[in-house]
Every structure is written in C-alpha cells, then in structure tokens.
Structure 1
Amino acid sequence: DNRRLTRRLTSAKLRQAATIENVDYRTARGLDRSLFQNLVTCQWIRDSNHLVIVGPTGTGKSWLACALGNKACRDGFSVLYKRTSRLFADLAQARGEGRLARLIAALERVNLLILDDVDGLTSAAS
C-alpha cells in the first residue's frame, strides 16, 4: 500500500507538498469549511464532476488544489498536476510528433487532472 501511494504521489507531480490536514480555515480567502470538507471525501471525483478553484492571486488556490490532489492519491485515485501552459506545449509537441492521440488517451486515464495557472494564459495572451 505504501509503495502504491508513493508511486501515485510521484506520478501526480504535485507542485506543493500540501495536505488537507494543514488547511487553515482562519485565513481570509473565502473558503467555505463545510464545502471543503465535502470535497475532501472525493465523492466528486467518483461522480466524474469537475472543480474550479477561483480567487485573487496569492490566496492559495494552487496549494488547495495540491492538498485535494494529495488526498485523492491517498484515496487511491490517479492524479496529474500540470501547469496549463505546459500542458498546451506538451499537446503541441505531441501533435508535431504524431503521438497526440496517445497523450490524450493517457490524460483520459487520470482520475483527477489538476490544471493550474489558467489565468496565466489570459495574461500571456494580452
């Protein structure tokens, strides 16, 4: 079990070593404790639902996403963390190399795909 968890956490490539046990609800980020506790159950992953974490820069959105990713790994789900700009670069490279279908198939097998820094795309495009 420990080896499988270690493999899932390594494969997830989480950017931060965040855990749900270290979430500080006192921080002024507008985090609803009951909603977050509901997300911690990972039922939304089992139900194939999506989650978007939004808020101002510096409020810990990436940290919270990594904490949920860590919990999903501990619950046996496969997780992959990708910066959105890096994902698009990987997709473009795979398309050029003729392996786009294989990359998309690999992404589809992941239970939880964490896409970070989506607003970085709009900033870069401006």
Structure 2
Amino acid sequence: MIGVTAPAGPTRPLPLTSPPFPNETVWSYAARLALLNGVPPKHVLRRFYSAERPLDRLDLLAVRSGQTPKSLRKALPELTTATAWHHPGYPLINRTWACDFCAAAHTGKTSWRIEIWGLRDLNQLCVKHRR
C-alpha cells in the first residue's frame, strides 16, 4: 500500500559497547557506539528521538548500548527529567570537549573526542591533567 511504512521492528543490543563518559552528550555517546560497531550514528539512535517520554528514550538507549538505565541516567544529563534539565540553576548547559587524556583513558582510543556538557560561564579545566 502507498503511504504505509513497515514497523521498525524490535530494538536490539549492539555487538560492541562502551560505558558513557561522565556528562557526555547523547549524540557523542551514540557516535562512539556507532564507530565501535561500524554503523551510522542514526542507526544507534533509531527511534530514540521519536519516543514520546524521556523514560522511553532511556530504555531504548539502554537496550542498544547494553548499559543499565541507572548508569546511563547518571552519565548522560539529557536523560534526566525535563524539570531537572531545564531548571535555571542546573549547572551543565554548555557543550564542550572532554580532556583528551581523560577521553583516551576512558575509550582506549587516542583520536576519539568526547563531547560533554560543561559548566556554565566557566573555562573548562581538567584538574587531573592540569589542562
């Protein structure tokens, strides 16, 4: 029939996974999972943005990444409740890059960049690596 699309099918876990970096953006995490598995990032986030509720998005990403919803919620601020994310006092509002040394230690890859949510109105500083 014209205009009818096939169902998307079940969401399945990806073969290779990696834990999220603290305060990482969802898109950055999806891109890293995609690189590991040799697929486009939109494949990792299939049906993610069409989910109506944040909890549905959390469950979908948990299945795809093989991570627990609790660990994803803790590491990816975008998966918290909308009231927490849009609260005026919420400190994580600017996107920036994680320290290259911390990212390499987390992923095992020296060339991968990780986009994170950074502190508002402050220059980023990695205390551990003095950068």
When normalised by structure 2's length, the TM-score is 0.29
Per the normalisation by structure 1, the TM-score is 0.30
1 or 2, which has the higher helix percentage?
A: 1
Higher relative contact order (CA 8 A, sep 6+): 1
